[in-house]
């Protein structure tokens, strides 16, 4: 059974879910998610002989939500992972992340390779650090309409999402999934400044099979404190660019795995002018960023952004094979 408790880490209290015994695997969720986004991986990984721990990361769920925007930099987030590994009585762990959790996992492997037995990222590839702050670059490129810039405006997205949290999450999860209709090629998530983020998203009458009403209940409850803590991660994108300058050009050296859906927009995001926009070229460059890439990236046909939720069995099987290969 999955057990829950609070852990003091890096100056904050984190809620964690855990199951199993064996080598530690830390599962890091993205936006707008919680520990629950990994709930279908707990049983398979625990049965395979691993100790599985998924926190609500800072600013999410039952974990602390610091007030200061500055408290959500990539160094704070990596510090939480490092502190959590130590708080759990371990010196090393496997680190796996999805969406925003992937950059945290990649940077943990980049900054503390001594503590990372293996790293896996879902949806978001390893970090490309360009020559220009990402928020500033996207502001110029899309005239402030890229969703990062929309999220960067204090209080705006916070209020839009909190107005009807359940509907906002339902529309967001469906629209970014592989079940949503329409082609994805060439699309970028641009926001109409007058209508907001959610206006153009369809609201499904029936949820996809992989995302139940109970899943939506759990997710809605996890945002009972609002969205500001989660959105503060985006408000540090330029600050993260400044803080990671010492690691410009560094590569992820621990054993690595990358998994993505072929209907996910994120792998093709133009994060900076230097970031490749076309996925095939990006995939070709991954071995340069991860010299110990375990296998070629795993592409999941028909899968959208919510990788481990849309394809739980395939993701769990790939993770177990990867984790065992690192032993």
Residues serving a catalytic function are 99, 305
List for the chain the helix, strand, coil content (%; round to 5). 40, 15, 40
Under 8 Å between Cβ of 228 and 86: no
Under 8 Å between Cβ of 210 and 309: yes
* Nearest by Cα to 37 from 85, 102, 94, 84: 102
CA dist., res. 239 & res. 43, Å (int): 38
The residue count of the chain comes to 327
Find residue 201's DSSP bridge partners.
none
User: Half-sphere exposure of residue 240, counting CA atoms within 13 Å on the CB side?
Assistant: 24
């Amino acid at each position: 059974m999955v057990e829950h408790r609070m852990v003091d880490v890096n100056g904050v209290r984190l809620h964690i879910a855990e199951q199993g015994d064996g080598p530690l695997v830390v599962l890091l969720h993205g936006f707008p998610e919680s520990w629950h986004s990994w709930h279908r991986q707990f049983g398979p990984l625990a049965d395979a002989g691993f100790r599985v721990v998924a926190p609500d990361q800072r600013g999410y769920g039952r974990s602390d939500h610091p007030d200061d925007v500055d408290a959500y930099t990539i160094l704070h987030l990596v510090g939480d992972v490092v502190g959590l590994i130590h708080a759990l009585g371990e010196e090393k762990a496997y680190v796996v992340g999805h969406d925003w959790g992937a950059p945290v996992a990649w940077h943990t492997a980049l900054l503390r390779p001594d503590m990372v037995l293996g790293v896996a990222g879902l949806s978001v590839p390893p970090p490309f650090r360009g020559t220009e702050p990402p928020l500033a670059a996207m502001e110029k490129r899309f005239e402030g309409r890229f969703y990062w810039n929309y999220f960067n405006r204090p209080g705006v997205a916070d209020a839009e999402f909190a107005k009807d949290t359940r509907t906002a999450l339902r529309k967001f999860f469906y629209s970014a999934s592989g079940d949503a209709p329409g082609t994805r090629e060439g699309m970028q998530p641009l926001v109409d400044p007058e209508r907001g983020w959610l206006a153009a998203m369809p609201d499904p009458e029936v949820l996809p099979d992989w995302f139940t009403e109970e899943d939506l209940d759990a997710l809605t409850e996890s945002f009972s404190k609002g969205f500001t803590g989660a959105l503060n991660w985006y408000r540090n994108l330029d600050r993260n660019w400044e803080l990671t300058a010492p690691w410009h050009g560094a590569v992820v050296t621990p054993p690595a795995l990358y998994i993505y859906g072929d209907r996910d927009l994120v792998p093709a995001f133009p994060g900076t002018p230097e970031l490749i926009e076309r996925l095939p070229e990006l995939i070709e460059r991954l071995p340069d960023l991860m010299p110990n890439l375990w296998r070629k990236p795993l592409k999941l046909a028909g899968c959208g952004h919510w990788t481990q939720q849309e394809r739980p069995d395939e993701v769990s099987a790939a993770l177990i094979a990867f984790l065992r290969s690192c032993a």
